[in-house]
């Protein structure tokens, strides 16, 4: 018992100390934030050619004879010198990444990245988007797709690479690309709309609990969680889903005219091999293969807009991301079980 009492005392002191440190750190971060933010973020640019070059050189050092390697390095140095004298001979490829959650939160960074690249990009350049998303909220993915439309409207070629999944809102984004590349077993499609919500009205009624839902406007609230839903409300809700689906279909058909839209807009998904036959994609190829091939003839620049976060925001974002990641993984597994081997 004495041991347990000592241990409890030690644990209480430790928790108190950790809490005090956190309070101090949060206070410092709040003071710094109070002095004003300096723009809220910055653009990071990494030249991917250097990444591919360093990997190749490391392998060559292990496999090629030293004299042969020395000769090769001289030739490469001459070629690099010539390329610097004639920079107009090499095009530029701007590489963006979009890892989508239910809310399409990554659009906040995507919009800044696109704004930055459009200040320099020309029709002789290319934008490559590495896209991964199972879709989510209509308005979030609608905005993300609209950002990609800016690239297309500027006349800059857009290539979308899908290594794992571009479904629903993810495909809404992918269809903007003049060229869509997919890994053979990536998941694509799901051109449909879904909405669901629980209703606990009967449970509340059983326990004599009344819920008043007051609205101004006949269709301000069609379906509710707590109140009694009506057939008229259900019909209106279904009409809204059908309207959204029709808009989704028209949007995809506008940018992907080779599709037989009624055949693919059923809400179904296809693996890359089948998606190629449906013309949902143009070619079976991973993003690694495509970028590695482009690196031999163009300068590749990976863009990432990094937002500055205060300490309290970091703690909050980390907790929120962990919770959302768990929910999203569960949702994804539930929807993709039939594709497991």
- Gap between the Cα atoms of 149 and 143, Å rounded: 10
β-strands 298-307, 41-47: how paired? antiparallel
Q: Could you tell me the two tokens for 306?
A: 């990094």
The burial of 33, by beta-carbon neighbours within 10 Å (0-12 exposed, 13-18 middle, 19 or more buried), is given as middle
Give catalytic residue positions.
168, 220
State the residue for tokens 């008229």: 232
What does DSSP assign to residue 155? Answer: T
- Gap between the Cα atoms of 341 and 325, Å rounded: 23
- CB-based contacts of 153-158 (< 8 A; 24+ apart in sequence): 154/118, 154/121, 155/123, 156/118, 156/121, 156/122, 156/123, 156/125, 156/126, 156/127, 157/123, 157/125, 157/126, 157/127, 158/126, 158/127, 158/129
What is the longest distance spanned by two Cα atoms in the chain?
A: 89
């Amino acid at each position: 018992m004495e041991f347990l009492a000592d241990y409890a005392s030690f644990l209480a002191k430790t928790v108190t100390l950790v809490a005090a440190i956190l309070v101090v750190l949060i206070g410092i971060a709040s003071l710094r934030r109070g002095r004003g933010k300096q723009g809220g973020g910055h653009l990071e640019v990494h030249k991917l050619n250097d990444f591919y070059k360093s990997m190749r050189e490391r392998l060559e050092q292990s496999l090629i004879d030293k004299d042969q390697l020395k000769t090769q390095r001289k030739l490469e140095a001459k070629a690099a010198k010539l390329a610097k004298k004639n920079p107009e001979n090499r095009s530029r490829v701007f590489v963006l990444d979009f890892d989508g959650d239910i809310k399409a939160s990554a659009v906040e960074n995507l919009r800044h990245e696109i704004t930055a690249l459009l200040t320099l990009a020309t029709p002789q350049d290319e934008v490559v988007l590495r896209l991964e998303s199972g879709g989510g909220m209509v308005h979030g993915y609608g905005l993300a797709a609209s950002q990609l439309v800016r690239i297309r409207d500027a006349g800059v070629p857009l290539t979308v690479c899908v290594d794992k999944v571009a479904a629903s809102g993810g495909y809404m984004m992918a269809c903007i690309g003049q060229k869509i590349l997919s890994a053979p077993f990536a998941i694509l499609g799901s051109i449909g709309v879904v909405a669901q919500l629980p209703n606990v009205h009967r449970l509340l009624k059983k326990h004599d609990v009344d819920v008043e839902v007051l609205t101004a406007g006949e269709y301000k609230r069609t379906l509710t969680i707590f109140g009694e839903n009506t057939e008229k409300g259900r019909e209106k809700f279904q009409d809204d889903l059908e309207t959204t689906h029709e808009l989704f279909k028209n949007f995809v058909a506008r940018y992907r005219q080779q599709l037989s839209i009624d055949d693919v807009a059923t809400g179904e998904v296809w693996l890359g091999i089948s998606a190629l036959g449906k013309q949902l994609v143009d070619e079976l190829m991973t993003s690694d293969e495509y970028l590695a091939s482009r690196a031999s003839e163009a300068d590749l620049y990976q863009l990432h807009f990094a937002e500055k976060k205060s300490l309290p925001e970091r703690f909050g974002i980390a907790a929120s991301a962990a919770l959302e990641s768990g929910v999203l993984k569960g949702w994804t597994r539930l929807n993709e079980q039939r594709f497991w081997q």
